[in-house]
Structure 1
Amino acid sequence: MEEIRRLAEIAAHDCSLNHIFPEESKKNREGKFYSHVLKGDFDDDNQASVLLYGSNANDVKYKMLKHRLKKKLYNSLFFYDFSRLKTPRYHQKEQECIHLLHHAHLLYRLHEVELVINLTSKIKKISNTYEFLNFAIDALELEMLCYSQQGDLSKYNSSRKELDKCLKLKAYEREALTLFQMLRIQLKKSVKIRKKHLPEFVQDIERLKIIWKKSKSFECFNAYYKATIIYYELTGNFEAIVELTVASEALLKNNLVNSLRFDAKFNKYILVYAHFRAKKLKMGLEYAAKYLEDFIEGSPNWFAYLENYFLIAMYDKKYELAETIIHRASSNSMFIKLPAAAKERWTLYQAYYLLFASTDRKTNRIINPFLLSLPEYSKDKQGFNVAILILQFIFYLQRKETEALLYRIESLKKYILTHLKDTFSLRSKTLLKLLIITVTEDFDAQSSSKKGAKLYQRLIETPIPGDAFAEIEIVPYEHLWEHILLILNSQYK
């Protein structure tokens, strides 16, 4: 049932496929079955069979109906209109090559050799433009079959030389893709295993770079590019990611990378993100403003891009800009369609913004951090849990609920012992210890600052770990500690 449901949703999503089940045909069982599946009326085959035939799922008539519907839905995929999807143009060209190859193979079996050669010529032209090596190989192999059948030795040898060249290039591409895919598999393992394999990653990336330089293939470049970003994220070397993304922009500009295949938007997103993580804030803000209009407003990628833009603004203490970004995101009509976790992130961002906004810009709205329930991203990193704990602490601190803060000391200590045992959690552990000091020092700003001086210095000296291991700091912990001392100074005299 799940297979049919998913196929039906795909067919219904594409308006050009509505002819499969016109409105007037829904009176028959096939159309009725399709209609009920789309409405989600069936949990299993028994329910469907009872409604359609008054029998159980083993009814031969129901099984035949299900088979016919499934076959029709799969056949409809041949007519799916990919141009309607918001995908890169090369995806549509890939689909065009697939259709042309399908036609060419069919025509070859019908002995229409000349028609096959016409189609392979089109396939090769698209493949050369977009660097679709697999399609080029298929087309050349078909050509060789046709020329051998025609007895045309000259054209056969020409296609054979071209195919030999493609197959050598394919060997490079296959090696590059295998190295990249193996690296991605290792990333699914635990942090301990990932760290163990880091030296191997270095060797693999060096090999990927050599393959790309030798082949000058887009696929080889793309494997090297993505693997390098992953490696530098793991090691926290965001300076190197900045260099890679800037260099990639230059390669694109000089036509050294296929501009029709390269995901320029992804590179711009990573470029801004890397500037943020490398704390190159001024340049990060310049790039963020420059490239924002390249993203479709209201799209998921646009919202993700705005998150990085907001975080850079907060790190650089550009609070008015941060407010503008929050307003632009939350007032967009597509905001309500974001996943629940994404909407809660924006609520959390707004709560942190309100902490640092100047008095005249603050609203009367108080965001209760106890209502936030963002999930951990994985067992290997803390996600936004620490960010919420800190916000809860400051929430009580601002309201001068000292008894509640005294009660929270033990839970903070327990959280440190349970969840912040690894070296990549040192910054979070240090800040939470500073929070505890404010309570043990009876909320005295000078005493807390003096007692926490060594911990604060440790915080300054501890770099933010690689993204694969790190908890998220919505604002630098150093800024948070300074802000907490300001609260103590102004409200606890």
Structure 2
Amino acid sequence: MEELKELAYILNKYQPRSIQIIGHDAWQSDSKLSQLYEVIQNDEVTSDRDAAHLIYGEEENSSKYRNLKHELKKRLLNTIFFIDNNEDKKRDKAYYQSWKDWAACQILIEKSARQTAVSLAEKTLKRCLKYDFLSLVSSIALLLRNHYALREKNKKRFEYYDNLYENSRRQEEYNNLAHKYYMKLILDYTMDSVTANPQIEADAQVYYQELAHLKKETNNIKFHYYLYQIQLLGKMGVFNYQAAKDICTDAIAFLRSQDVAFKGGMRNFLLNKLVCHIQLREFEEGKQAAIACNKLVANGTFNWFKTNEYFFILSFHTGNYQEAYDDYFKIVNHPRYKTYKILHETWALYRMYLHFLYLLGKFEPATNDNSFNNIRLGKFINAVPSFAKDKRGMNIPVLIIQMAFLILQHKYDSATERIDALNKYCDRYLKTNDPNFRCNCFIKMLVQIPKSHFHRSGVERKAEPYLRKIQRIAINFNNQAHELEILPFEHLWEHILGALENKFFRPKSSRSEKNG
């Protein structure tokens, strides 16, 4: 009752104004505010200029629009404290609640509601200890140490919170050191090379050895998480995916053995393990990693879609095309798919590669899926507008699959034009460096097709040196090469060769030059 009286006194003394938040009841007198919120939420505007013109018919620097934007931002920030966390995982829910309670403690202390603040702080501290929220533990322990020294003169409680504070600060130092080394590895070394980097493995070993003796000093889950990440980066840096997979397996087993549920860390290692399975072409094991990963994310969330995309890539790269199609069909027909517009162009591109494989008889579509019956290249180009404007390489898989379709249809003149366009595009926009090594080799292979007049044996012979180069260098998933190499180039090359015949064909341009 004393705490309730204290809270009632505070709220009576400092009369709260009406809380300005967003929600269905908050828009009655703010139609412009509601309109701005709705058009942003529905992706109807992409800039301040668009929003200002839509709502006021004015430029973005108008005072009315600036004030409206400021008011909306203020209300959005206010609403953050009232969002429903009931659907979050236990640890996440505890994290949000602990920070809200700690903020309330600080306010109550400043408003002289110390009794309520101390009671709330002790309750919050128990939760933070349970879930290993070290920074909050040290802050709350410090407040309580001061309280029992200055206010209640309780030496026993003072010493308890003093020991707790010192221990949490010490463990924070261990965590910070491990986190720093983890960040240094990410910062100092790019993971986009096609050649192994022994230095990253050497540095990872030095960092690990410096930290390993601290494992017995702390049971904080984040410290051990960073330690596993340091080991993982070292092995990834030298493309030792078997060792990297083993580290992920150990890390997952460790996290599962802990009383504190660290779902985010578990999901991270499962995704990395899935990457290793992709590199090692281990379909069944990768499938199990994807299933386990999906259990840690809510169905229909962005992370759920990304995990399924990784499984799609695994299926494609291991030749399990039916599984890839089944995954595709599940994704594009999910009720939440339409809301994630950022995913649409990527999956439209995947559909083109799937259609190519469908024409080769590599999988059977669902009985209620008629989307593979007819397709036009021109329509596909219009369906990926940002790729058409891109100069960083994303046009390459588009041009490649268009060329593959044309060869499959024996439209060799058009295929020659596509190959020429692809070669010129890459000369202009794709730098000839390590990350693009496989792509550059594959383009040189494609150039041999019109040079050999589409004669299969001749194409095979002239492209063989470049194929050997590709086979010596595995695709590096870490440098996002899968965005350019939708199908492994070796596999795609087999499919293209299978569409050629042992007959000569001279493109019209060659015939014209010869006649001239």
TM range (shorter): 0.7 to 0.9
Q: How far apart, in 2, do the equivalents of 1:45 and 1:320 lie?
A: 45
Q: How far apart, in 2, do the equivalents of 1:402 and 1:373 lie?
A: 26
Q: Kindly provide the CA deviation profile for residues 7-65 of structure 1, in whole angstroms up to 9, marking residues without a partner as x.
A: xxx943xx4xx55x363xx1xxxx456445435698699999999xxxx849xxx98x9
Residue 375 of structure 2 is aligned with which of 345, 366, 385?
366
Match of 1:285 in 2: 287
Alignment of 1:40-439 (within 5 A): 57=63, 73=75, 76-77=78-79, 79-83=81-85, 87-109=88-110, 111-148=112-149, 149-186=151-188, 198=200, 202=204, 203-204=206-207, 207=210, 214-226=217-229, 229=232, 232-233=235-236, 235-255=238-258, 258-260=260-262, 262-289=264-291, 291-292=293-294, 294-340=296-342, 342-357=343-358, 358-359=360-361, 361=364, 363-366=372-375, 368=377, 370-371=381-382, 372-373=384-385, 375=387, 382=393, 384-418=394-428, 419-439=430-450
| Partner SS state of residue 346, structure 2 | helix
Aligned-residue Cα RMSD (Å) equals: 4.1
| Partner SS state of residue 474, structure 2 | coil
Please state how far the C-alpha of 1:117 moved relative to its aligned partner.
3.2
Report % sequence identity. Answer: 16
Alignment of 1:423-462 (within 5 A): 423-462=434-473
Please state how far the C-alpha of 1:214 moved relative to its aligned partner.
4.2
Contact 2:193–2:434, Cα closer than 8 Å, also in 1: no
Contact 1:298–1:334, Cα closer than 8 Å, also in 2: yes
Please state how far the C-alpha of 1:130 moved relative to its aligned partner.
0.7
When residues 427 and 124 of structure 1 are mapped into structure 2, their CA distance, relative to the original with a 3 A threshold, is: same
- What letter is aligned with 1:366? I
Please state how far the C-alpha of 1:443 moved relative to its aligned partner.
0.9
Please state how far the C-alpha of 1:113 moved relative to its aligned partner.
4.5
Contact 2:315–2:323, Cα closer than 8 Å, also in 1: yes
- What letter is aligned with 2:37? L
Q: Which moved more, 1:240-249 or 1:462-471?
A: 462-471
Please state how far the C-alpha of 1:397 moved relative to its aligned partner.
1.0
Q: Kindly provide the CA deviation profile for residues 249-277 of structure 1, in whole angstroms up to 9, marking residues without a partner as x.
A: 2112322x732465433333332232112
Q: Kindly provide the CA deviation profile for residues 357-387 of structure 1, in whole angstroms up to 9, marking residues without a partner as x.
A: 35384743235254445659x99x84x4432
Q: How far apart, in 2, do the equivalents of 1:187 and 1:222 lie?
A: 20
Contact 1:177–1:223, Cα closer than 8 Å, also in 2: yes
- List gaps (5 residues or longer) in structure 1: 1-9
- What letter is aligned with 1:444? H
Contact 1:234–1:469, Cα closer than 8 Å, also in 2: no
Q: Kindly provide the CA deviation profile for residues 433-460 of structure 1, in whole angstroms up to 9, marking residues without a partner as x.
A: 1111121111111222222223222222
TM-score (norm 2): 0.75
Contact 1:234–1:468, Cα closer than 8 Å, also in 2: no
When residues 57 and 441 of structure 1 are mapped into structure 2, their CA distance, relative to the original with a 3 A threshold, is: closer
Q: How far apart, in 2, do the equivalents of 1:153 and 1:401 lie?
A: 89
Q: How far apart, in 1, do the equivalents of 2:387 and 2:110 lie?
A: 55
| Partner SS state of residue 442, structure 2 | helix
Contact 1:123–1:135, Cα closer than 8 Å, also in 2: no
When residues 46 and 355 of structure 1 are mapped into structure 2, their CA distance, relative to the original with a 3 A threshold, is: closer
Q: How far apart, in 2, do the equivalents of 1:71 and 1:327 lie?
A: 38
Residue 485 of structure 1 is aligned with which of 490, 497, 501?
497
Contact 2:241–2:279, Cα closer than 8 Å, also in 1: yes
When residues 176 and 293 of structure 1 are mapped into structure 2, their CA distance, relative to the original with a 3 A threshold, is: closer
- What letter is aligned with 1:287? A
Q: How far apart, in 2, do the equivalents of 1:425 and 1:144 lie?
A: 58
Q: How far apart, in 2, do the equivalents of 1:188 and 1:11 lie?
A: 43
Contact 1:208–1:220, Cα closer than 8 Å, also in 2: no
| Partner SS state of residue 154, structure 1 | helix
When residues 398 and 421 of structure 1 are mapped into structure 2, their CA distance, relative to the original with a 3 A threshold, is: same
Q: Kindly provide the CA deviation profile for residues 278-328 of structure 1, in whole angstroms up to 9, marking residues without a partner as x.
A: 322332234335654554332222221221222222222222222211211
Q: How far apart, in 1, do the equivalents of 2:435 and 2:215 lie?
A: 33
- What letter is aligned with 2:435? F
Q: How far apart, in 2, do the equivalents of 1:425 and 1:47 lie?
A: 43
When residues 349 and 302 of structure 1 are mapped into structure 2, their CA distance, relative to the original with a 3 A threshold, is: same
When residues 279 and 165 of structure 1 are mapped into structure 2, their CA distance, relative to the original with a 3 A threshold, is: same
- List gaps (5 residues or longer) in structure 2: 1-19, 41-47, 366-371, 506-516
Match of 1:38 in 2: 37
Q: How far apart, in 1, do the equivalents of 2:190 and 2:473 lie?
A: 27
* Count of residues in Structure 1 that have an aligned counterpart in Structure 2: 458
TM-score (norm 1): 0.78
Contact 2:399–2:418, Cα closer than 8 Å, also in 1: no
- What letter is aligned with 2:374? R
Please state how far the C-alpha of 1:115 moved relative to its aligned partner.
3.4
When residues 210 and 78 of structure 1 are mapped into structure 2, their CA distance, relative to the original with a 3 A threshold, is: same
Q: How far apart, in 1, do the equivalents of 2:322 and 2:227 lie?
A: 39
| Partner SS state of residue 171, structure 1 | helix
Please state how far the C-alpha of 1:198 moved relative to its aligned partner.
4.0
Match of 2:475 in 1: 464
Q: Which has more helix, going by share of residues?
A: 1
